[in-house]
Amino acid sequence: MSAVAHYYTLPDTPYDLWVRGELADFLHLPDDGTRVEVIGGEIVVSPGPTVGHNGIVQDIADSLVEARIADPTFPWRCIQVTDLNLSDIRDGYIPDLIVLDVDVQDEARKSDARHLLPGQVSLVVEVTSRSNAACDRRPGPRRGAATKWSGYAQTGIPNYILVDRDPRAAQTLFFSHPDRSSGTYRHLLSWEFGETIRLPDPFGFEIKTDKWEPWDD
């Protein structure tokens, strides 16, 4: 299968078009789950995720619901595929899952916010896909420029879960303690697929991963 590159002259910067919800239209993207983000100032277009990918996201969301049922005072809620406006670095991401305090979520719902901002977010979750995994990880050989990992750290997102489905190193990584000046996270915890994830304070809930599988090699 061959790919055809299309070039468009945009009437504004990719970030400004993204913020206004106009970027996908100017790129003539189909309305089929395709995602468009601005990462390191570059436009990144990704196909809709697979069932295996979405199943992992749903498992994490279900874990929060279970914790809430077990403890009515549990303060955390989650929302999926909501735009996150990283205005300080003029990037725009669509995390697979965002975890935020219930009061913050209630306020955002009342205002019917178009985007969330980093200061409202306590934890972001990304599950890698074969087509764009390098965008979610630390900058490296496949993407030496800024990635979502460095963008999240640079804008002070306190915690980042990266579920990496690459069969060469399938694991879940929990990054915390961002250093905004360097755009890096200073602390890391990790779990292999099949292990139960026990998130540290302030979250304190568990995620079962026994059904998680790498993508097909």
| Domain annotation for the chain: domains and CATH numbers | 14-44 (no CATH), 50-207 (3.90.1570.10)
pLDDT at 1: 32
Contact partners, residue 96, CB within 8 Å, separation at least 6? 49, 53, 57, 80, 81, 125, 126, 127
pLDDT at 31: 77
Mean pLDDT for 158-162 is 98
pLDDT at 2: 34
Joined together, the tokens standing for residue 126 give 């990304």
pLDDT above 70 covers a percentage of the chain that reads 95
| CA 131/CA 47 separation, integer angstroms | 8
Closest by CA to 92, choosing from 145, 143, 21, 28, is 21
CB atoms within 10 A of CB 175: 23
| CA 79/CA 110 separation, integer angstroms | 15
- Write down the residue that tokens 């049922």 correspond to: 69
Closest by CA to 78, choosing from 108, 53, 38, is 108
Mean pLDDT for 61-67 is 97
Question: What is the value of pTM for the model shown?
Answer: 0.92
CB atoms within 10 A of CB 101: 15
Q: Name residue 188's beta-bridge partners.
A: 175
DSSP codes of every residue in 75-91: -EEEEES--EEETTTTE
pLDDT higher than threshold 50 for residue 4:
no
